[in-house]
Structure 1
Amino acid sequence: MVRIVLDAGHGGHDPGAVANGLREKDLTLAIVKHIGRMLAEYEGVELHYTRTDDRFIELCERAEIANKLKADFFISVHINAGGGTGFESYVYNGGVSAATIAYQNVIHQEIMKAIGGVQDRGKKRADYAVLRETHMPAILTENLFIDNKNDAAKLKSEQFMLQIAYGHVVGLEKALGLKKKENITVQQQVNQPSNRGLFKVQIGAFSSEDNAKRLAREAKRKGFNVYIVKE
């Protein structure tokens, strides 16, 4: 069993960064919920959240939640501000384990692959409370700049938010050695159609061809006919 704590930055009376009609606290919660739904498809994953709604939680409380749970991994999701652009990730700038550095390397790389066409600001270290006070490997991600118009336009796209989450999940899968559940079934009730036509379902749009092919392979293993179309 792998115990993962997902931390959506800010919340409640602390909106985080605000610009271009967006609030950081809303974006981080949406991304974390997407990550949680995707991770539910993996075996042996026990998920916990520091928050699942719009509430304020002190930084020390977030770390304490993970410590009390004796979590195996802690990941905190944020949106950047300050006039830059792109993606960056952080681990604690004090003593960190080799495993923490290895996890950052893998997760950072997979997020960059998933979001594509975004500036890579690098793998960094900082004295952030949620990284300093957690007793397990921990990483903090800064997913684009809310005060950059181009970045904000991406963050307003539900598809792009899913790509951010997908990158986190694939990174966690590779870093922690997670495996997909064998028998995942998706059931949907629909009215009987008047003809025997086909239902077409779009499951993703990626700037990275490798990520598109990877998702296609996963769908094919579940018995779906999948075609990749370049737009």
Structure 2
Amino acid sequence: MQTTHKYRIVLLLLTFISTLTSHNSLFAQSDKFVVVLDAGHGGHDSGNVGNGHSEKNIALKVTLEVGKALAKNPDIKVIYTRKTDVFVELFERANIANKADADLFVSIHCNAHSSQASGTETFVLGEKNTGRNFDVAKRENEVIFLEDNYKENYAGFDPSSPESTIAIGIEQEVYVEQSIVLARKIEDNFINKAKRKSRGLKQASLLVIRNTYMPSVLVEVGFLTNKSEGSFLNTKAGQTKMAHAIKVAVLDYKNELDQNVGSHILTGQNETAVLEDLTPRIYNGITFKVQIAASSRALEAKSYNFKGLADISREKAGNLYKYYSGETSDFNKVKQLQDEAKSKGYSGAFIVAYKGGKRISMTEALKSTKD
């Protein structure tokens, strides 16, 4: 009997350790390129049911297909906000991405309209909540009413009020341009690879991407309320086509970032940035840098390797090397450095923050005390 008791103790310890390991693997910073995939709706939130089709089920199937394809790349780690038919609060979806320190957040949905409207749309965060864009934001944001503590979690946010959807935290502004790059790639692939009609890139204040601190997009793969498009999206072949287009866009985005080193720059912007003489905006104890590239190549952190940009530093993360320009506690100064990097061809340059030598989210950094 004593031996049996010992075995039980060992089994409990192993189970506990296994639980801790799996929890940490989800939320610890990964050395890989981390993509969080979010299947819209779920559980008692069915989403739209145009022509009898289920948004929550179609979104999940497309999301799982995207993730399965991306996971074949050894340099990518895929995390899902849900893999089954369960309800996940909007703020928790963003929390999963933030805790994982993700590089990208992609939320997948199906559209609806009272007409026979058709086509794909990819949304990034923005304040232009007018007309159709506001209708989409309102519909997606109204999901919070299905949550038990929505008043507490969203501080009185009202999806029906345009004024309520306008405010965008400054921590989000630094990721909008990168989100636009990914969104354009997704819509281009819907046209060229999936052979679908695209309604283009849109901007709206969507809660699920508003609370993330990485490049984030919300993808509407088509209208279930359109008879033909709804039938297409309800098929395995249709879901595979849409998933493939999204997967290729994510890989293209990552590859462009990886290759954004030295002479391999994709120079889409040649205009010279205007560096304004802005009043210093100092954050005590915070160090801001501009990430200009990530690559498997270990280049010397010298100005001549990065088109003359100053104060180059390098950080190893797994098999990748991340390269940064500048180092300052002045947020306005680092925004100038970001503009300078973009003017020299680093179109995907973005701002990162450190505290005590440790990388932290922009949300946390910008909540710190200003001097």
Q: TM-score normalised to the size of structure 2?
A: 0.47
| Residue of structure 1 equivalent to 2:74 | 43
Distance in 2 (CA, whole Å) between partners of 1:72 and 1:61 is 17
Determine the structure 2 residue equivalent to 1:115.
194
Aligned residue among 95, 105, 110 for 2:184: 105
Alignment of 1:82-97 (within 5 A): 82=113, 83=115, 84-93=117-126, 94=168, 95=173, 96-97=175-176
The structure whose Rg is larger is: 2
Contact 2:190 2:198 in 1 (8 A): no
Write the distance in 2 (CA, Å) between the matches of 1:79 and 1:115. Answer: 16
Aligned AA for 2:244?
Answer: Y
Number of aligned pairs?
178
* CA distances 1:148-168 after superposition (whole Å, capped 9, x unpaired): 101112112211110000000
SS state of the match for residue 173, structure 1?
Answer: helix
Partner SS state of residue 177, structure 1 = helix
| Cα contact 2:125–2:176 (8 A) shared by 1 | no
Residue 18 of structure 1: aligned partner: 49
Gaps of 5+ in 2: 1-31, 127-167, 259-371
Q: Distance in 1 between matches of 2:89 and 2:209?
A: 14
Partners of 2:38 and 2:82 within 8 A in 1: yes
**One-letter amino acid of the structure 2 residue matched with residue 119 of structure 1:** K
Stretches of structure 1 lacking an aligned partner (at least 5 in a row): 180-231
- What is the CA–CA distance in structure 1 between the aligned matches of 2:180 and 2:234, rounded to whole Å? 31
How many Å apart are 1:121 and its aligned residue? 0.7
Map of 1:28 onto structure 2: 59
Look up the equivalent residue of 2:238 and give its one-letter code.
F
Report what 2:87 is aligned to.
56
Is the contact made by 1:100 and 1:138 (CA closer than 8 Å) also made in structure 2? yes
- When you count helix as a share of all residues, which structure comes out higher? 2
Cα distance, 1:105 vs structure 2 = 1.5
Tell me how far apart the structure 1 counterparts of residues 230 and 177 of structure 2 sit (CA, whole Å): 34
Aligned to 1:187: none
Q: Which runs of 4+ in 1 moved over 6 A?
A: none
Distance 1:52 1:63 in 2: 16
What's the CA shift string for 1:87-143, capped at 9, x where partnerless?
Answer: 010000043442222122122211322221x32111001100111100000011001
* Partners of 1:87 and 1:112 within 8 A in 2: no
In the TM superposition, what is the alpha-carbon distance from 1:21 to its structure 2 partner?
2.4
| Percent identity (aligned) | 35
8 Å contact 1:111–1:171 — kept in the other structure?
no
Q: 2-side partners of 1:113 and 1:45: how far apart?
A: 24
Query: Aligned equivalents of 2:228 and 2:100: distance in 1?
Result: 39
Structure 2 counterpart of 1:162: 240
Aligned 8 A contact 1:111 1:166 in 2: no
TM-score, length of structure 1 as denominator length: 0.74
After the TM superposition, which of the residue ranges 86-95 and 48-57 deviates more from structure 2? 86-95
Q: How much has 1:16 moved relative to structure 2?
A: 0.1
- Distance in 1 between residues matched to 2:176 and 2:242, nearest whole Å: 26
CA RMSD between the two structures: 1.5
**Take 2:255 and 2:98, find their aligned partners in 1: how far apart are those partners?**
22
Deviation at 1:34, TM superposition (A): 0.5
Q: Following the alignment from structure 2 to structure 1, what is the Cα–Cα distance between the partners of residues 253 and 190?
A: 12
